[in-house]
Amino acid sequence: MYCAAPIAPGVRVAEPPRRTGRGDGAELTLDPSAIAANTRFLAARATRLMAVVKADGFGHGAAEAAAAALGAGATSLGVTSVEEALVLRAAGFRVPILSWLNPVDGAFEEALRAHVSLAVPGCAHLTSVVRAASRTRRTARIHLQLDTGMGRDGAEPEAWPELCRRARQAEADGLAEVVGVMSHLGCAETPGDPCTDRALDLFRTAVSTAAEAGLRPRRRHLAATSATLTDSRTRFDLARVGAGLFGIDPTGTTRLRPALTLTAPVVAVRAVPAGAGAGYGHSWSAERRTHLALLPVGYADGLPRSASARAEVLLGGRRCRIAGRISMDQVIVDTGDRPAVPGETATVFGPGDRGEPTVREWARWSGTLEHEIMTGLGARLRRSVRRQAVAA
């Protein structure tokens, strides 16, 4: 758990500074120093680090996340579409960018003009990339991608020798340079899972096959966050790390720091008698006289409705349970004996330093992963960046 020691009942803890002015609603604050600290921690466990900033940097903002990671030891960027890569180029990033998961007719000419490297998961993609290289008179920088048992992206082992042979031919024609061989692990969050042993065997064999075909890939890469944290056999030349940058450790073996804090102001307060219902369907009713506070944040902002019965926020220095169903735009919070003050700030989640819930808790309350909460945060949230001092 990320949470600091529980805050004693009744103790008020300083909330982040409140913004004033019209239009202030829920606010999502990014702390880039948390991403930097996580990057340093992960980079120390990798030969080289590619910062995977797909899905808008796991909801943190791709450019902000990339800048924080590159400033702290990452040396390249990874995304799952050419479009995302082009956005990063347009934002001024000059480091190597690798895009995988492209359709066979992907925007490869645009990618090559922007010096974006491409994962090649099979011969059809290779043909398409080579055609784009010939049209743009560029040498495509490619990473041959193998499927080592996930059944997702990448060539099947049987198709690998032919892919290597054709890639070597493309090199000879001056149209491609095979800079990498890559695969992805499906079971790495469970250290010791034999599925990882099998994937490692397949990967090592594929690397040998590539060498026999005359390829000299400088970057062999297999590990993502989980394997980087727990399995040094998967190190090779590069780790592609996403989740860990943002404070997610799927193996539960380390303490990485969450970088996002979601706050919302109290917009209304009321006292209700025992038996009063609240929210759609009155799924909640007051067991005794209590106070309710209304926050302008809901499932359209990414708070999973399935967390309704369990979720809490930090308000007035104390954990308060959500009362009733999470609505699209709002939640009701049961503040017990203490009436909240309109304008007071509630913390929906954060790094946990002040006793506020973490994204990990929200994920548990809704039966999902931190990844899904982070990438599901709503576009209408007001976003800001505020660097916090992080103890090393």
Catalytic residue status for 54? yes
Catalytic residue status for 280? yes
Question: In the set 85, 199, 224, 256, which binds ligand PLP (CB under 6 A)?
Answer: 224
Tokens 């539960």: give the residue: 252
Question: In the set 2, 41, 93, 100, which binds ligand PLP (CB under 6 A)?
Answer: 100
Asked whether the beta carbons of 131 and 120 are under 8 A apart, the reply is no
- For residue 289, the minimal CB distance to ligand PLP (Å) is 47
Structure tokens at 361: 């808790």
Does 184 sit near ligand PLP (CB under 6 A)? yes
Q: Give the max Cα distance, the chain.
A: 80
Does 242 sit near ligand PLP (CB under 6 A)? yes
- In the shown chain, the binding pattern of residues 48 to 77 toward ligand PLP, with x for contact by CB under 6 A and - for none, equals ----x-x-----------------------
The stretch near ligand PLP (CB under 6 A) out of 105-113, 237-245, 275-283, 308-316 is: 237-245
Does 43 sit near ligand PLP (CB under 6 A)? no
- For residue 52, the minimal CB distance to ligand PLP (Å) is 4
Does 225 sit near ligand PLP (CB under 6 A)? yes
Q: What is the spatial order of strands in the sheet that 97-99 belongs to?
A: 219-221, 176-182, 140-145, 116-120, 97-99, 76-79, 49-52, 239-241
Tokens 């010096």: give the residue: 115
119 vs 307 by CB, closer to ligand PLP? 119
Does 299 sit near ligand PLP (CB under 6 A)? no
Question: In the set 235, 240, 318, 325, which binds ligand PLP (CB under 6 A)?
Answer: 240
Three-state SS at 97: strand
Does 149 sit near ligand PLP (CB under 6 A)? no
The stretch near ligand PLP (CB under 6 A) out of 238-246, 295-303, 333-341, 359-367 is: 238-246
Q: Where are the beta strands (DSSP E) in 140-205?
A: 140-145, 176-182
Asked whether the beta carbons of 188 and 224 are under 8 A apart, the reply is yes
Separation of alpha carbons 383 and 371, rounded Å = 19
User: Angle 225-164-209 (CA atoms, 0-180°, nearest 5)?
Assistant: 75
- For residue 250, the minimal CB distance to ligand PLP (Å) is 6
Separation of alpha carbons 351 and 359, rounded Å = 8
End-to-end CA distance of the chain: 18
Asked whether the beta carbons of 30 and 259 are under 8 A apart, the reply is yes
- For residue 84, the minimal CB distance to ligand PLP (Å) is 12
Question: In the set 122, 149, 180, 244, which binds ligand PLP (CB under 6 A)?
Answer: 244
Q: Which of 26, 46, 51, 54 is catalytic?
A: 54
* Alpha carbon separation from 10 to 142, 246, 265, 316, 335 (Å, rounded): 59, 32, 20, 8, 11
- For residue 45, the minimal CB distance to ligand PLP (Å) is 12
The stretch near ligand PLP (CB under 6 A) out of 24-32, 83-91, 242-250, 332-340 is: 242-250
Active-site positions read: 54, 280
- Contact positions toward ligand PLP, by CB under 6 A? 52, 54, 100, 184, 224-225, 240-244
